[in-house]
Copies of this chain bind each other. A is one copy, B any other.
Amino acid sequence: MSQVKPSLYTSLSPALLHLHDLNNTVVVIIDVLRATSTIATALYNGARCVIPVDSVARCIELGKNIDSITAGERDGQIAEGLQYGNSPFEYPESFIKGKTLVLTTTNGTKLLHMALERGAGEVITGSFPNLSSVCDYLLASKQNVILGCAAWKDKVNLEDTLFAGAVINRVQEHFSINCDSSKLAATLYDAAKDDLYGFMHEKNASHYQRLTGFGLEKDIRYCLTPDVANVLPFYGDGKLTIHSW
């Protein structure tokens, strides 16, 4: 008898997450530009942990501890009252090693808290810099999966959908995928995979416009590069730490 495969669904926006049952499910939080790329990078570079919080006030409160960095953005820029922003380049090993990063962002950290409130079985974060770790974990854990795109203020975006497609491209043989959003994401990734940056540029994706407007092309290129910070951020006890299995 063949084994029943676990299911995989994609939620293209936080406004669609309620359509899915998150119990006993691994939810992958995807905010490619830039929260989840930055989370992977900070942990890869030796941060003790990343504490994702959903408000600037909470970020400042938690940041009062020694060795804590408060960081985050609203609308793509450093939020008032915080020390650092949402760029992976702000967190080299020489700066972040051994420290705690308390992070709040417009979309990614909000979606993470939404998934927790809705009873997600496990929460991990995904981005191109840690693509292989995410795929390896999903294949190893053999649980049902929701790929949760953080989007931009609930509007579907290209980069998070592309990452969902990249994951599906790698793991699809091992999951039952009865979900048109996943098929849409996989088709998008197929069209873009030979040159992700070129695709974002050619399509003039909305977030591409927003970040290049701030002079952040370098961030975009990094955030579209697979496995440059290949660790698995796993949520537990209020923080994200590297998970080995």
Contact = CB atoms under 8 A, between A and B. Distances in A.
Contacts of A157: 180
A78 interface: no
Interface residues of A, number: 29
Contacts of A193: none
A68 interface: no
A206 B180 contact: yes
A76 to B, nearest CB: 15
A201 interface: no
Interface string A18-30: 0100000000000
A49 interface: no
Contacts of A205: 180, 183
B15 A16 contact: yes
Contacts of A16: 13, 15-16, 154-156
A203 interface: yes
A216 interface: no
Contacts of A188: 184, 187-188
Most buried by B among A184, A192, A206: A184
Interface string A187-218: 11011100000000001111101000000000
Given A12-B12, A16-B154, A19-B155, A206 B179 contact: yes
Contacts of A180: 155-158, 161, 203, 205-207
Contact of A158 (B153, B183, B191): B183
A2 interface: no
Interface string A156-167: 111001000000
A181 interface: yes
Contacts of A13: 16
28 contacts: A12-B12, A12-B156, A13-B16, A15-B19, A16-B16, A16-B154, A16-B156, A19-B154, A19-B155, A155-B179, A156-B180, A157-B180, A158-B183, A158-B184, A161-B180, A161-B184, A178-B206, A178-B209, A179-B206, A180-B203, A180-B206, A180-B207, A183-B203, A183-B205, A184-B184, A184-B188, A187-B192, A191-B191
